[in-house]
Chain A
Amino acid sequence: MEATAGGGCGSGPPLLLSEGEQQCYSELFARCAGAAGGGPGSGPPEAARAAPGAATAAAGPVADLFRASQLPAETLHQITELCGAKRVGYFGPTQFYVALKLIAAAQSGLPVRIESIKCELPLPRFMMLKTDAEIRFGNPAELHGTKVQIPYLITEKSTFKRMDDEEKQQETQSPAMSPLASPPSSPPHYQRVPLSHGYSKLRSSTEQMHPAPYEARQSLVQPEGPSSGGPGPKPPRHQASLIRSFSVERELQDHSNYPDEPWRITEEQREYYVNQFRSLQPDPSSFISGSVAKNFFTKSKLSIPELSYIWELSDADCDGALTLPEFCAAFHLIVARKNGYPLPEGLPPTLQPEYLQAAFPKPKWECTLFDSYSESMPANQQPRDLNRMEKLSVKDMADFPAPTQDVTGDDKQALTSATDEALPKDISEDSATPKDPNSLKARPRSRSYSSTSIEEAMKRGEDPPTPPPRPQKTHSRASSLDLNKVFQPSVPASKSGLLPPPPALPPRPCPSQSEPASEAELHSQLNRATSQAAESSPTKKDIPYSQPPSKPIRRKFRPENQATESQEPSNTVGGPASVATVKPHPAVQKQSSKQKKAIQTAIRKNKEANAVLARLNSELQQQLKEVHQERIALENQLEQLRPVTVL
């Protein structure tokens, strides 16, 4: 329809419509006309006219359209006034076109005046437009709040919502997809929304969020008047989606070259797809093999024929593998399908691999991807290192390792068992104090390495179990801990915490000093041998000591309690031992301290070497994995290229 014809038809101001506008407007007019069964229905019921506009149609398509433009009601009133509908009493083509033009003006920020339509304006934007399906389901009705069709809608949508919700809940991808802005981010041009799938694109453009549809559906139960002021009544959770959707809206309005907005991938979506791609295949420039992609896409719970079709669409070169743009296209199609969009007959231009590659240049992505990948790599390695060190020590010690201190402790344990002297006690004592605070630090440290990879999650899972046994170990070293607790006040005064017993001696009351000290020594020795082999004088104390771990306090008290008893033990070994050990005590301890230092340095060196080797190991393993994957991909390609000869 030409502007002149439009101008000639009614009393509206002369309109100058561009071609696109003409097309758009005439389509809209036709829709409204079709929906209303001839002549667009009267304006919004809220229009000042008291006319029972509902008479024309249960859902005033024109009103819906205007509401879809997301302009405030006042503006819409103004527009209807200006366009002459109120005067004329109906929406003729002229009025309609003028109204559309005014809407466009209002959306562009121009005042709603007749003059504003004289200039070039972009096409009016409507959040939601009607397809036949929509009209069929009377979608606009819900927005108007007309109750007639709403129950039908609600039941339908609720069923869809529930089905989809259940689907989504079971989906592994659904939580991941929620941060996405869904494909139908607000279009500069209206699009077809098959509402029959219950995918409600609410006026507030909550449509754009995947969670939004479900929330939106829930909100449908209370039909809300959709308007640009809509967010108010909506649950707060819509706010975030609204904000995001608006931002996406603006983003999309920038590139409006292609009319097929549902098939346009936004930045967020693109990032998300790329992350998923990387989770399947670390190298963003290589392929995802068919089987890997199949498993991944099967998780989306779409039917196999649909997935098969999506694959057909997206695998442009039909090589049985997906490159990054192909993968993004496929993922996007799946997302669209899950949101109720019918699959296109052919790959939309915005999903073509060339377009995707051009729109999101690969090198940039590769840089960022590789950066993040490399970041994740060292993070990967570190927990692996820790785990490996742990594992090594596990194998060595058959004990539960934990971060480095544990390794140290293990080494010490081995050494102590070998030396079977007060050394272990010293070392353990030494390790006890640094261990306790360090263990606390180490645990969070290992967790800080966590990244998003699955391996790390697994390894993270391995980390937690290890720390608990550690205290037991220290406790099992018995008296060391106990002595530590006793000696701690004097530790600062001690040399380097290496020799708790000697420094501890002075502060302790003399009578109890020797005994606990000797007992400690004996205990440590005994613990080295066996936990219960202690038959020496401090048998009774052995028991509490060997009962270890959790009762240092008890030990502490025990020696004191049994200080007298210790003198009683009838074991001759204990007696002479205790006596004998008292004298050589300081000497032994000095020697042990030196040895301890040497051992500690050796331990540190070993630890460092361990760490280096562990890192090497993890790197090599990573390389091996990559090579494996490449091999698998190549084998797949080879299989597909070479027909199988079966004879």
Chain B
Amino acid sequence: MAVCVAVIAKENYPLYIRSVPTESELKFHYMVHTSLDVVDEKISAMGKALVDQRELYLGLLYPTEDYKVYGYVTNSKVKFVMVVDSSNTALRDNEIRSMFRKLHNSYTDVMCNPFYNPGDRIQSRAFDSMVTSMMVQVC
């Protein structure tokens, strides 16, 4: 269960960013922003030769005291960043992968919509509902 989910465009501006405890939204935005550097580092480390073999799931980008940040990059350099609570130890890598896969599928569905211009903010209700389903449910 993520605490914050962000979709970053190729040019490193956010297409979609949503966090659950809305009061600490700024903190999450900052974390996502800093994680972009790590993502770029991981991508460049792969090298051009490995582009095809590069796995989309980047894994744990960096851990902080309270949170862990996971990353995922698509072939079009759209990045998905997910922040999860460190205290949520039950969350395994597979689950994170499946969450990213769901994100990616929803993102492609959004892309399929001809009324969506790539580069716009994502305002799809289906996408929202999907993200809500994987966010931490705050009572």
A interface vs B, CB < 8 Å? 289-291, 293-294, 297-298, 304-305, 307-309, 311-312, 315, 318-320, 345, 640, 643-647
Contacts and interface: CB of A to CB of B under 8 A. Distances in A.
A294 B126 contact: no
Contact of A290 (B108, B112, B123): B112
A644 B113 CA distance: 17
Nearest to A298: B115
25 contacts: A289-B114, A290-B114, A294-B114, A304-B115, A305-B123, A307-B115, A308-B115, A308-B123, A308-B124, A309-B125, A311-B114, A312-B109, A312-B113, A312-B124, A312-B125, A318-B112, A320-B113, A640-B111, A643-B76, A644-B75, A645-B51, A646-B76, A646-B77, A647-B48, A647-B51
A305 B122 CA distance: 10
Would you list the 3 A-B pairs with minimal beta carbon distance, nearest first? A290-B114, A320-B112, A294-B114
B51 A640 contact: no
Nearest to B115: A308
B112 A319 contact: yes
A311 B115 contact: yes
A602 B11 CA distance: 70
Nearest to B75: A643
Given A305-B123, A308-B123, A646-B76, A320 B10 contact: no
A645 B76 contact: yes
B67 to A, nearest CB: 29
B74 interface: yes
B131 to A, nearest CB: 14
Contacts of B125: 309, 312, 345
Which of A297, A305, A309, A318 counts the most B-chain CB atoms under 10 A from its CB? A318
B62 interface: no
Contact of B124 (A297, A298, A309, A345): A309
Interface in B84-106: none
Most buried by A among B108, B113, B114: B114
B116 interface: yes
Given A311-B115, A640-B111, 14 more contacts: A290-B112, A293-B114, A294-B115, A304-B115, A311-B114, A315-B113, A318-B112, A319-B112, A320-B113, A320-B114, A640-B108, A645-B75, A645-B76, A646-B77
- Give chain B's interface residue range (CB within 8 Å of chain A): 10 to 19
Interface of B: 10, 48, 51, 74-77, 108-109, 111-116, 123-126
Contacts of A293: 114
B133 to A, nearest CB: 15
Contacts of A294: 114-115
B112 A315 contact: yes
A637 to B, nearest CB: 10
Given A305-B123, A312-B124, A312-B126, A291 B115 contact: no
Most-contacted residue by chain A among B10, B77, B113 (CB, 10 A):
B113
A507 to B, nearest CB: 74
Contacts of B51: 645, 647
B13 to A, nearest CB: 16
A304 B108 CA distance: 18
Contacts of A304: 115
A488 to B, nearest CB: 64
A304 B123 CA distance: 10
A309 B10 CA distance: 24
Contacts of A318: 108-109, 112
A308 B122 CA distance: 10
Nearest to B111: A640
Contacts of A290: 112-114
Contacts of A298: 115
A344 to B, nearest CB: 11
Contacts of B123: 305, 308
Most chain B CB within 10 A, of A298, A305, A643, A647, is at A643
A645 B76 CA distance: 5
Nearest to A295: B114
Contacts of A289: 114
Contacts of A305: 123
Contact of B10 (A308, A311, A646): A646
Contacts of A645: 51, 75-76
A319 B113 CA distance: 8
Contacts of A307: 115
From B75, B76, B111, B115, name the one whose CB has the most chain A CB atoms within 10 angstroms.
Answer: B115
